């Protein structure tokens, strides 16, 4: 049986849970994690939308996207470890793409670590293509920072 995913907008009451989910997902990578305050400030910015993916009424994933004029950027995407490899990220990313397109964006951009094969495979499979590189973009705990790849998906 496959999981039944529900996507809901992230509201003010969801910020603590969303921050916990971000931390659970990104701390193992050694990346900076987002506090409740970080998320609150982010979703207050113009054009920023947070989405939560729920399974059986519980948060399993989150995505934050910003649309400005005809361009959109995926600011974060994460799925809780216990819910991975069941299509949750693919479902969430599809919702982000639909949202960005509906909001009038012609292209969706994102950055991904060169050392993050799971996310790179996900983005490749959705049609994103590399368009640039950011040197030493990602903190990696005690280790050296990782380069980021900028990727772009044409929406229309
Ligand atoms: C990357 C991440 C979001 C994937 O979430 P997920 O729900 O497990 O992904 P899905 O089940 O929807 O998988 C979709 C595709 O992603 C790729 N993928 C996901 N996990 C993978 C893994 N561990 N190894 C290789 N490819 C992987 C595959 O192409 C997969 O398609 P397939 O199942 O047909 O092979 C999740 O591992 C995560 O939250 N990681 C930590 C945070 C992070 O790196 N976010 C992205 C920052 S840019």
In the numeric block, which tokens belong to residue 133? 């590189």
Mutate to test the pocket of ligand 1, among 119, 147, 148, 150 (most ligand atoms within 8 A of CB): 119
Span 99-105, mean pLDDT? 98
Contact partners, residue 8, CB within 8 Å, separation at least 6: 51, 52, 54
Q: Give me the mean pLDDT over the 16-30 stretch.
A: 97
Which ligand 1 atom minimizes the distance to the CA of 85? 11
Choice from 96, 118, 120, 149 to test ligand 1 binding pocket (greatest atom count within 8 A of CB): 118
Q: Which residues line ligand 1 (CB under 6 A)?
A: 25-26, 77-79, 84-90, 112, 116-119, 121-122, 125
Output the average pLDDT for the chain.
96
Question: Which helix (DSSP H) or strand (DSSP E) does residue 8 occupy?
Answer: strand 5-9
> Above 60 in pLDDT, residue 1?
no
Instruction: Tell me the average pLDDT across 48-74.
Output: 97
The pLDDT of residue 139 is 92
Residue 34, classed as helix, strand or coil, is coil
For residue 111 the two structure tokens come to 């950055």
pLDDT band at 2 (very low <50, low <70, confident <90, very high): low
Instruction: Say what percent of the chain tops pLDDT 70.
Output: 99
pLDDT of residue 3: 76
Domains and CATH numbers, the chain: 5-154 (3.40.630.30)
What lies within 8 Å, CB to CB, of 124 at 6+ separation is none
């Amino acid at each position: 049986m496959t999981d039944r995913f529900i996507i809901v907008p992230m509201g003010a009451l969801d910020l603590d849970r969303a921050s916990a989910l971000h931390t659970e997902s990104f701390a193992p990578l050694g990346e900076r994690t987002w506090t409740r305050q970080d998320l609150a400030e982010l979703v207050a910015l113009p054009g920023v939308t947070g989405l939560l993916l729920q399974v059986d009424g519980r948060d399993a994933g989150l995505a934050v996207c910003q649309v400005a004029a005809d361009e959109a950027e995926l600011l974060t995407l994460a799925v809780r470890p216990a819910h991975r490899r069941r299509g949750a990220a693919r479902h969430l990313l599809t919702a982000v793409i639909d949202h960005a397109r509906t909001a009038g964006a012609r292209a969706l951009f994102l950055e991904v670590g060169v050392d993050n094969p799971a996310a790179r495979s996900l983005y490749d499979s959705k049609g994103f293509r590399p368009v640039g590189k950011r040197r030493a973009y990602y903190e990696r705990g005690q280790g050296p920072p990782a380069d980021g790849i900028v990727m772009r998906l044409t929406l229309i």
